[in-house]
Amino acid sequence: MASTWVQSPRFAVAAPAKRGDNTLMAAPIVHAGLEVLYTRDQIARRVAEMGEEISRDFAGQKVVLVGVLKGATIFLADLARCISLDATFDFLSTSSYGKGHQQSGEVKLLKDVDHSVEGQNIILVEDILDTGLTLTYLRRVLSAHQPKSLKIAALLDKPARRIQKIEGDYIGFTIPNKFVVGYGLDYAERYRNLPDICVIPPSALGDE
């Protein structure tokens, strides 16, 4: 569906087109022929289930959603709106794979949380649990802040690639050993804005 452009005094914004079910949908984005692994509707349904589960588990309590920049931002934004609890946000950042899909194996903290998480219920929100190096490291960093509880919510889990023995508490989808992009996940910083989760074929993965 075509979107209309609305002029505001300082910038032009694309007004999202409306879908039949009355939910807002962004203007269509070119997927460049990538195979879709999970559609936006499948993701939305699963994220809603995850939010309900978290809301049940922490009924009557407050939670702090700690997102791992940048991949978890879209997942966190959607998950947060499916959680019916008193919730606040914070963000962490680690050194990443580099520009492409290669991994150095070393994780460094680039940005710590802004607020003390001592005595709080922390839900560490990550896009994907792959080798497990990042979340093992971040779990240690956050545990040092002595939270009341610490859980991991990851949209995707790729257990075939695990190096560190770690499991998520809330997992959206368990996927095969494929490199995926979209819904926040990138390849060399691209594709984060794809609404669906898509697969990058191995032949297209360079050595960046």
User: Residues in the site for ligand IMP, rule: CB under 6 A?
Assistant: 68, 71, 96-97, 126-135, 179-181, 185-186
Residues 97 and 186 sit within 8 Å (Cβ to Cβ): no
Q: State the catalytic residue, choosing from 90, 127, 130, 157.
A: 130
Region of 42-50, 126-134, 173-181, 194-202 interacting with Mg ion (CB under 5 A) = 126-134
Task: Give me the residue whose beta carbon is nearest to Mg ion.
Answer: 71
Shortest reach from residue 71's CB to ligand IMP, in Å: 4
Nearer to Mg ion, 78 or 127 (CB): 127
Q: How many CA atoms lie within 13 A of 20 on its CB side?
A: 0
Q: Which does 185 bind (CB under 5 to 8 A by kind): ligand IMP, Mg ion, none?
A: ligand IMP
Residues 68 and 126 sit within 8 Å (Cβ to Cβ): yes
Nearer to ligand IMP, 66 or 135 (CB): 135
What residue type is 95 in one-letter code? Answer: S
Nearer to Mg ion, 85 or 127 (CB): 127
Nearer to ligand IMP, 58 or 75 (CB): 75
Q: Which does 131 bind (CB under 5 to 8 A by kind): ligand IMP, Mg ion, none?
A: ligand IMP
Residues 147 and 118 sit within 8 Å (Cβ to Cβ): yes
Tell me 100's DSSP state: S
At 55, give phi and psi (nearest 5°).
-60, -40
- Close Cβ partners of 47 (under 8 Å, ≥ 6 residues apart): 75, 78, 79, 82, 155, 172
Shortest reach from residue 4's CB to Mg ion, in Å: 34
Q: Is 41 part of the annotated catalytic residue set?
A: no
Shortest reach from residue 127's CB to Mg ion, in Å: 5
> What are the C-alpha distances in Å from 91 to residues 24, 64, 108, 169?
26, 10, 15, 19
Q: Does residue 71 belong to the site contacting Mg ion (CB under 5 A)?
A: yes
Residues with a known catalytic role: 130
